């Protein structure tokens, strides 16, 4: 039995790379969701005019990794306090968002956000929205980090997120 989770937290290359390394994650696909344009492409989404976010659709086995654990990883590897921005990536397409697939995911995400805000005295700007159509990104965007490990963006932006995963969640990785 598998479940689906969809997260947006800046560049999808980062999110996909991290989630693909977790035990129980059967697939992590980079793509676009949350907007109005059907079948968008990368350049259209990067324009900021489609309403879509760069996101990752994750298929996972809840008997191996829980939705709560996915939330913990998600909120550790990106900054949920900056609106429409992750580092140098700026625009609504880089927003922090959770696209929930059922009411239990919504309730769990809302409770997790409330706990983070109370514990750390911060304001979380992560959007909570129902999952809608997810459009897979072009082939060149899938598994980008593993295909381009020497690329400067991979070394400077993605590698630290992988290191953070290994530091904080080694027990969850493959």
51-109: per-residue pLDDT in tens?
999 999 999 999 999 999 999 999 999 999 999 999 889 999 999 999 999 999 999 99
CA-closest candidate to residue 135, choices 74, 46, 20, 56:
56
For the chain, domains (ranges, CATH) are 3-172 (3.30.1060.10)
Residue 33 structure tokens: 């969701």
Residue 164 structure tokens: 């953070």
Q: What pTM was estimated for this model as a whole?
A: 0.96
Q: How far is CA 15 from CA 24, 58, 119, 122, 144, in A?
A: 16, 10, 24, 22, 11
Mean pLDDT value of segment 146-162: 95
Q: How many CB atoms lie within 10 A of CB 59?
A: 14
Amino acid 88: pLDDT: 87
Residues involved in catalysis: 11
Amino acid 6: pLDDT: 98
Alpha-carbon gap, residue 125 to 123, rounded angstroms: 6
């Amino acid at each position: 039995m598998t479940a689906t989770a969809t997260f947006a937290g800046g560049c999808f290359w980062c999110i996909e790379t991290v989630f693909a390394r977790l035990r129980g994650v059967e697939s992590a696909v980079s793509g676009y969701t949350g907007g109005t344009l059907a079948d968008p492409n990368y350049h259209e989404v990067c324009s900021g005019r489609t309403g879509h976010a760069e996101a990752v659709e994750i298929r996972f086995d809840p008997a191996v990794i829980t939705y709560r654990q996915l939330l913990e990883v998600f909120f550790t590897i990106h900054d949920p306090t900056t609106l429409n921005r992750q580092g140098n990536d700026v625009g609504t397409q880089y927003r922090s968002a959770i696209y929930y697939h059922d009411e239990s995911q919504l309730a769990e995400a809302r409770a997790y956000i409330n706990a983070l805000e109370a514990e750390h005295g911060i304001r979380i700007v992560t959007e909570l929205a129902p999952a809608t159509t997810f459009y897979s990104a072009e082939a060149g965007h899938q598994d980008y980090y593993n295909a381009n490990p020497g690329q400067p963006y991979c070394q400077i932006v993605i590698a630290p997120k992988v290191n953070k995963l290994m530091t904080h969640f080694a027990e969850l990785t493959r």
